[in-house]
Amino acid sequence: MSKKVLIIGGVAGGASAAARLRRLDETAEIIMFERDEYISFANCGLPYYIGGTIKERESLLVQTPESMKSRFNIDVRINSEVIDLDTRNKVVTVRTKNNGTYKEIYDYLVLSPGAKAIKPPIEGVNSQRIVTLRNIPDTDRIKAYVDKEGTNSAVVIGGGFVGVEMAENLKHRGLDVTLVEAAPHVLAPFDSDIVGAMEKELFDHGVKLILNDGVKSFKDQESSVEISLNSGKTLVTDLVIMAIGVVPDTGFLKESGIKIGPKGHILVDEYMATNVENVYAVGDAIEVVDFVNKQATTIPLAGPANKQGRIAADNIAGLRTSYKGTQGTSIIKVFGLTAASTGNNERTLKHLNIPYKTITVHPVSHASYYPGGFMMTLKLIFNEEGKILGAQGVGSDGVDKRIDVIATVIRLGGTVSDLTELELCYAPPYSSAKDPVNMAGFVAENVLAGRVDIMSIEEFLDYDRENTILVDVRTETEYNNGHLEGALHIPVDSLRARLGELDKTKEILEYCQIGLRGYVASRILTQNGYNVKNLTGGYKSCLMSPLKPPCVVPAATSEKQSVDPDTQVVKSDTGKEISDYKKKQSDCGICSE
């Protein structure tokens, strides 16, 4: 006998479950309910349509009720909201836009209600000029505001992925944009030493950033909104985008007997099954297991939702497929930069008291002798056994594929040694003989093997100046271009001849530009009886750090200096190279010892 399956909600999770189930079972009766008009749309693309990068609105529509019917024989009922669920009698109550309320029975049920944007109970928050972005109607409303003559400014409240993407796209449309974030930094999945680059990119492109400050109240004016912040600062703008996060849309399940977590998320097992027989749940409304730390968490991302929908369908069809957790792998474009992350960040690991180590490298996106390469930053987080716990990257090119590779190694339970052994594509336009992923593995492996003792920027700021010697091992031109305050300058190529200048009774803290020459210096000093620490990521990490280590920057010289946008090499107006650290790091093998 054929089974009757009801699916509540479409988009990523529900639509994937429906299509997969039909491919597995041609005889099942499948009905999908969607309270709005659009069952499957590219919600990650909404900011880019508002910004004008995506030209056609229809490009956002992945599936329509008609296409789902013709290809998959699925009965899609739009403008139909499920308002009640009776799990004892296996009945849902549906409220329609035009035809009243009715009941529908089921054999199996898939819950994919998603989440809704948070609109906190702040004074004045219900102004017509304060909008959220979650679906196609929201998109249409925001785009109408932006297209309207007289809309010249916008304030984005919230510095998550949606908030930052909206800030960028509104700036592309020519608006004066301010982004307000209550936390000290935007983009919470990234640690502060990585996110600083994105904040600078926003600032450099004209987005005003207000960090560590929240909204106290809104006040409608004749043609604008006045925003009062907790700091006492006041902003006046034509449009406000609220992007402070989402909450699960599960209120209709209150009396259903389905177990709900403390923040309103549906609790499921590894088969996407709820505590009620034949009821499954997927997507942004469920609580999942963090793949790395194995704790319960919530990660509202499209990729996991699609996989969860597929797994729910498998289990309804009897395949017994399980979901093994979410890594939170994510990526964002911030004007000319790309930032990506996977696994846990330092903040999460500290909160859970999980011990970890980190290293930072600054490789070039492809062979440095081939034109057009860009420096990137890769941060690797791992434990004492070498298991990879997380990774983050930021740069102009090649960040996505490096984080994807590391995400794959994490999913397969790999270690930093596995990173060193990966055989990845190499040709000068695409990578180096030792890919940046290999380089990160080499550095981490050296740390675990005790070949080098590293120090983070945070640790550096707390070091004991009385009993240590700070040494800069870069070239003279690099040192003169800027260095850490109090650093003794001994270039690495002169280090062996000048060992007598260093006191063996004191700890040596040394650094180069990006950490590679520092490793060579560390090996020289360690094997000559010195107690040495190398600053991970070198001077480049100091410049990126929001902690602002004390640096000595020389006054302007008679030569105008600039950074070549392709090579990232500092040059004077005569074309002379001021900094040669880039060519020092190319394919030289100093980190593969």
The per-residue pLDDT for range 92-127, each reduced to its tens digit, is 999 998 889 999 999 999 999 999 999 999 999 999
Amino acid at 260: I
What is the C-alpha to C-alpha distance for residues 513 and 206, in angstroms, rounded to an integer?
29
Strand order in the sheet with 91-96: 80-86, 91-96, 101-105
What is the pTM for the complete model shown?
Answer: 0.89
Domains in the chain: ranges and CATH: 4-115+247-316 (3.50.50.60), 130-244 (3.50.50.60), 336-448 (3.50.50.60), 454-584 (3.40.250.10)
Write out the chain's pLDDT in tens, 593 residues: 789 999 999 888 999 999 999 999 999 999 999 998 888 888 899 999 999 999 999 999 888 889 899 999 999 999 999 999 999 999 999 999 888 999 999 999 999 999 999 999 999 999 999 999 999 999 999 999 999 988 999 999 999 999 999 999 999 999 999 999 999 999 999 999 999 999 999 999 999 999 999 999 999 998 899 999 999 999 999 999 999 999 999 999 999 999 999 999 999 999 999 999 999 999 999 999 999 999 999 999 999 999 999 999 999 999 999 999 999 999 999 999 999 999 999 999 999 999 999 999 999 999 989 999 999 999 999 999 999 999 999 999 999 999 999 999 999 999 999 999 999 999 999 999 999 999 999 999 999 999 999 998 888 888 888 889 999 999 999 999 999 999 999 999 999 999 999 999 999 999 999 988 999 999 999 999 999 999 999 999 988 888 778 888 775 443 333 334 333 333 333 333 333 333 333 333 333 33
What is the C-alpha to C-alpha distance for residues 454 and 494, in angstroms, rounded to an integer?
22
Instruction: Give the N- to C-terminal CA distance of the chain in Å, as an integer.
Output: 66
Cβ atoms of residues 533 and 557 within 8 Å: no
Strand order in the sheet with 108-111: 75-78, 29-34, 4-8, 108-111, 279-281
Count CB-CB contacts under 10 A for residue 265.
Answer: 23
With tokens 């301010």, the residue in question is 178
**Which among 513, 521, 575, 502 has a CA at the least distance from the CA of 544?**
513
Q: What is the pLDDT of residue 571?
A: 37
Choose the catalytic residue: 44, 425, 551, 591.
Answer: 44
**Which among 311, 319, 263 has a CA at the least distance from the CA of 12?**
311
**Which among 424, 456, 459, 457 has a CA at the least distance from the CA of 439?**
424
Cβ atoms of residues 331 and 403 within 8 Å: yes
Name the pairing type of β-strands 279-281 and 108-111.
parallel
Tens-place pLDDT, residues 569-591 = 333 333 333 333 333 333 333 33
Q: What is the pLDDT of residue 461?
A: 86
Show Cβ contacts of residue 275 under 8 Å, excluding neighbours closer than 6 positions. Answer: 257, 258, 259, 267
| Secondary-structure percent of the chain, ordered helix, strand, coil, rounded to 5 | 30, 30, 40
Cβ atoms of residues 167 and 177 within 8 Å: yes
* Catalytic residue list contains 44: yes
Cβ atoms of residues 195 and 223 within 8 Å: no
**Which among 32, 4, 36, 45 has a CA at the least distance from the CA of 112?**
32
Cβ atoms of residues 536 and 362 within 8 Å: no
Strand partners, 211: 181
What is the C-alpha to C-alpha distance for residues 403 and 563, in angstroms, rounded to an integer?
26
